[in-house]
Structure 1
C-alpha cells in the first residue's frame, strides 16, 4: 500500500502538463470524489454534518457568521468546485495549485489576513515497513478553518472527538487555536511512527545476529531511505513552526504563541529522534558487515581444521601409495632402500591406527588452543 501511494505521488508530478501557466489546476485521474464535512461551534452551540454538495456547505457557513467553522473537504476530483472554492474563500490560484499537486513540502504562506499552511500526515505500514504520508492543506480565516486532503481517512479523529464532547478550550478560542490543534495532532502522530521504526530497528538487529542475509541488508537500506524521507518532512515542519512564531501580533496573538512554541519543541524532539534512528540504521549496516565477516571467519576456521587434519593423512596415504617395485624384475634382487613395511602381515591396520592416533593428537592440540570454543 505504501509503495503504491509513493508511486502514485510521483506519477502526479510526472503527469502535470509542462509549460502551463502558473496557477493552472490539474486533477489526477486517480483523485477521489469530494466529500464535504462541516463542524460549526462556539461556546453555546455545536453542530456536525456531512453535506451532499459544496453549495449546501457554503450556505451553512454563511448562515452562521457568529460560529467558528471547520470546513473539511476530502477529495479533489471536481475542478468546478475548486474554482468556486477559490472565489468564495479568497484562495490564490498558486495556493490552490499547491493543494491539488499534493506532494509539497511543509510550509506557511501569509496572504492578507489569511494563512495557508501545508503539513504532512504520517502513517507507518507494519506490513510493508514503509512510510505513508498524505498532504493536509489548511486555510485560516476570520471565522473558519478550511482543510483539504486527497484521502478520506486521516489522523484528526481525536481532535474531532474533543470538539464533540466539548473537552478543552477549543470552542472558546479563535479559529487560529483550531489551526494549532490540527497541527499539534498531526505532529503527535509522528511519535508513534518513530516508536514503530525503533521497534523495527530492533527486529532488524535481531535478524542480523540470528541469521544475516541479503534480504536483511535490503531491508536496512530501505529503512535508511524511509528515514531520509522522514527527515525531509521534519525539517520543513520545524521551519514552518518557527515562521509561525515570528509572525506579527495581528496574525499570531501572543496568547497563542505559547501553544505554537510547544509544537515547535515537538518538531525539535522529532528531528533528534530521526537523527538517532538514522545513526542506528547506519550502525546496522556495520553490524551486518561485521557479522557476515565473522561468519566467514568461522567457515574458514572449520575449513582450516579439516585441511589441517587431512594434510598429514594425505601425505601418509600418498607416501605409501607410491608404486615402486621392491625387487629388480630382471634379477629378482631385493632393493635395500625399499619399503619393507608394505609387506608386513598387519601393515594395513597398523597404518589405520597410526592415522587415527594422528587425528586424535591434532584434535587435542586444537582443543587446547581454544579453536572449538566459538562453535
Structure 2
C-alpha cells in the first residue's frame, strides 16, 4: 500500500505582521460570489453583487431592516480587506476569516460579534468536506464568509423570501442564530452518516463478509470522526458564551433559541464521543476476529499433526532395516498394520469430536 503523505495545511509564512490576511486553503481558483439579502417584516429583496464595493450601500442604520451579505471565495483576500475596512472589522478577525485551519472560536467587540465555524457535508467523490465559514453579527446586519459556493442555508433563504416563520419579524441577532442553527442541524446528517458506516462495518465483521481493506476503512472512519470532533467540540463553549453573555447586539428574546442550539451541540458532541469509542471497538473486534480465524487454522493443523504422529511412529518402527523383527515376515502383517492405523485415526477423530475440538 503506498504511503499517504499529508498535504500542507497552512500557506502562511512565518514572520508576517499580525492582521495580514492570507488565504491558507486549497481552493485558489474559487470565483468571488457575493449575494445580499435585505428584508423587513413587509418585504424582502435579494441581489447578486458584481463587486465588493456594491455591498457598502447595504450598511443601514434603520432598525426595521436587516441585511445579510454572503461572500463566497476566501481566496479573494483583497475583497475581504475592503469589506472589513468598510464595516470596521478588526484586522485580526479578517486574518482568522482567511485562515481555514482556524479552530472554531468567538470574538466579541462593542459593535459586533465574530464566530469562526466549520461547515461539514459529504461529497460523493471526496467524502467528508470541512469548509471554513465565518459569521459577523453587527447592528442590523450579518456578514458570512465562505470558502466556496454551496452551503446549508437554502431553507433559510426560502424562509426569508417567503416570510415563513419569525425570521423577517426578528432582528439581525435572530438571523445570526438561524445561520448557526442551520450549520448545527446539518451536523446531525454527518452523525447519521457516520453511524450508518459504523453499523455496516459491524455487520460485515459479525457476518464474516468483511473485505481485506477493513483496517483501512476503520482508519479512514476514525479520521473522519476526529475531524468532526475537532469541528464540533469547541462550538458548545461558544454557544454557551453567547447564551450567558449580555451583549447589546443580542436581544433577550433570542437567548432561548441559542439555548436550543446549545442543547443540539451537546447532543452532537455526545454522539460523536460514542461513535469514537465504537470505532476503537471495531478495531478491537477486527483483531479478535483475525485472531479467531488464526486459532481455527492452528487448531486444524494441530489436529492433523496429532492424527499423523502415531501413524508416523508406527511407520517409523517398521521402516527400520532390521532383519529379525517380529511380524516382519508374517503374511498378514501389512494389512493388519493398515487396519490398526485406520482404527487409530477413526478413534482419534471420534475423540476430538466428542471433546468438540472439531
Q: What is the TM-score normalised by the length of structure 2?
A: 0.91
Q: Which residue of 2 aligns with 1:81?
A: 79
Kindly state the Cα deviation for residue 125 of structure 1 after the two structures are TM-superposed.
4.8
Q: 1:325 aligns with which of 317, 323, 326?
A: 323
Aligned pairs for 1:18-37 within 5 A: 18-27=14-23, 30-31=27-28, 32-37=30-35
Change (3 A) 1:211 1:186: same
**2:126 corresponds to 1:140:** no
Q: Post-superposition shift, 1:212?
A: 5.6
CA deviation string 1:56-100 (max 9, x = no partner): 3333x2589553111000003334322221221111100000001
Distance 1:40 1:250 in 2: 22
Aligned to 1:101: 99
Deviation at 1:285, TM superposition (A): 2.1
Residues of 1 paired with 2:230 and 2:53: CA distance? 38
Match of 1:368 in 2: 354
CA distance, structure 2, for counterparts of residue 58 and residue 7 of structure 1:
41
SS at match of 2:331: coil
Indicate conservation of the 8 Å contact 2:23/2:77, yes or no.
yes
Distance in 2 between residues matched to 1:106 and 1:202, nearest whole Å: 30
- Aligned 8 A contact 1:145 1:179 in 2: yes
What's the secondary structure of 2:34's corresponding residue? strand
The aligned counterpart of 2:151 is 154
- Residue pair 1:187, 1:267 contacting (<8 A) in 2 also: yes
Separation in 1 of the partners of 2:334 and 2:125?
Answer: 64
Matches of 1:141 and 1:102, distance apart in 2: 23
The structure that has the greater radius of gyration is: 1
Provide the secondary structure at the position in 2 that maps to 1:254.
coil
SS in 2 for 1:342: coil
Matches within 5 A, 1:194-343: 194-209=191-206, 210-211=208-209, 215-248=213-246, 250-326=248-324, 338-339=325-326, 341-343=327-329
Query: How far apart, CA to CA, are the structure 2 residues paired with 1:79 and 1:231?
Result: 29
Structure 2 Cα separation of the partners of residues 361 and 148 of structure 1? 79
CA, structure 1 residues 281+261, in 2 after alignment: closer, same or farther (shift >3 Å)? same
How far residue 167 of structure 1 moved from its aligned partner, in angstroms, is 1.1
CA distance in 2, matches of 1:150, 1:371: 62
Q: Please state whether the residue corresponding to 2:253 is helix, strand or coil.
A: helix
Residue 348 in structure 1 maps to residue 334 in structure 2:
yes
TM-score (norm 1): 0.87
Aligned pair in 2 of structure 1 residues 110, 223: CA closer, same or farther (>3 Å)? same
Q: Say which SS state the counterpart of residue 189 (structure 1) adopts.
A: helix
* SS in structure 2 of the partner of residue 255 of structure 1: coil
Query: How many pairs were matched up?
Result: 351
Of 135, 144, 164, 1:167 maps to: 164
SS of equivalent residue, structure 1 residue 343: coil
Structure 1 gaps of 5+ residues are 327-337
Determine the structure 2 residue equivalent to 1:333: none
8 Å CA contact retained: 1:41, 1:67: yes
Partner of 2:13: 17
Query: 2:160, 2:167 within 8 Å by CA — same for their partners in 1?
Result: yes
SS at match of 1:134: strand
Q: CA RMSD in A?
A: 2.3
Q: Is the CA contact 1:43–1:171 (under 8 Å) kept in the aligned structure 2? A: yes
Q: For 1:106-117, list aligned pairs within 5 A.
A: 106-117=104-115
Greater per-residue helix proportion? 1
The 1:352/1:301 distance shift into structure 2, 3 A limit, reads same
Report the CA distance between 1:208 and its aligned residue.
2.4
In the alignment, the residues of structure 1 paired with residue 39 and residue 73 of structure 2 have an alpha-carbon distance, to the nearest angstrom, of 24
In the TM superposition, residue 226 of structure 1 has moved relative to its aligned partner by 2.6
Equivalent residue, structure 1, for 2:65: 67
Residues 33, 77 of structure 1: alpha-carbon distance in 2 compared, 3 angstrom cutoff: farther
- 2:308 & 2:71 partners in 1: Cα distance? 78
**How far apart are residue 252 of structure 1 and its match?**
2.1
